[in-house]
């Protein structure tokens, strides 16, 4: 078996070959060819101006891009819910122990 046949076998029969076939199939499954897609996006940029392909993240501050406001909100929500659960459980525990102590005092 020549070296090229071994290489062909390794690429097409091994998991790497299966992955390559899968990604190749996905890449080739498109409504337009690659050149038509490139032409479309070039014409789109010309029609809509240079800012049409600009990311909105450019206009955001660093803490918005890093999602720090979202993380702060989620952390505050988690802390608030945890606090409320602790307060409710303490109240239930105190109520149950108070009722138990009242019943115990009546029996004594």
Taking only the tens of pLDDT, the chain with its 108 residues reads: 455 666 566 555 667 778 888 888 888 888 888 899 999 999 999 999 878 888 888 998 988 889 999 999 999 999 999 999 999 999 999 888 877 777 766 665
pTM over 0.85: no
Give the Cα-Cα-Cα angle 98, 101, 104 (nearest 5 degrees): 150
User: 20 near 11, Cβ under 8 Å?
Assistant: yes
75: which 2 tokens? 């952390």
Give the separation between CA 10 and CA 15, rounded to whole angstroms: 9
List CB contacts of 21: < 8 A, sequence separation 6 or more.
Answer: 12
Provide DSSP, 64-99: HHTTHHHHHHHHHHHHHHHHHHHHHHHHHHHHHHHH
pLDDT, position 16? 74
pLDDT, position 13? 60
User: How many CA atoms within 13 Å lie on the side-chain side of 75?
Assistant: 6
pLDDT, position 46? 92
């Amino acid at each position: 078996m020549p070296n090229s046949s071994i290489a062909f076998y390794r690429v097409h029969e091994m998991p790497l070959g299966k992955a390559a076939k899968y990604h190749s199939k996905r890449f080739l499954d498109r409504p337009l060819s690659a050149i038509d897609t490139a032409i479309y996006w070039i014409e789109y940029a010309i029609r809509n101006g240079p800012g049409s392909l600009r990311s909105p993240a450019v206009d955001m501050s660093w803490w918005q891009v890093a999602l720090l406001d979202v993380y702060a909100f989620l952390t505050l929500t988690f802390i608030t819910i945890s606090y409320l659960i602790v307060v409710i459980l303490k109240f239930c525990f105190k109520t149950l122990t108070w009722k138990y102590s009242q019943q115990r005092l009546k029996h004594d």
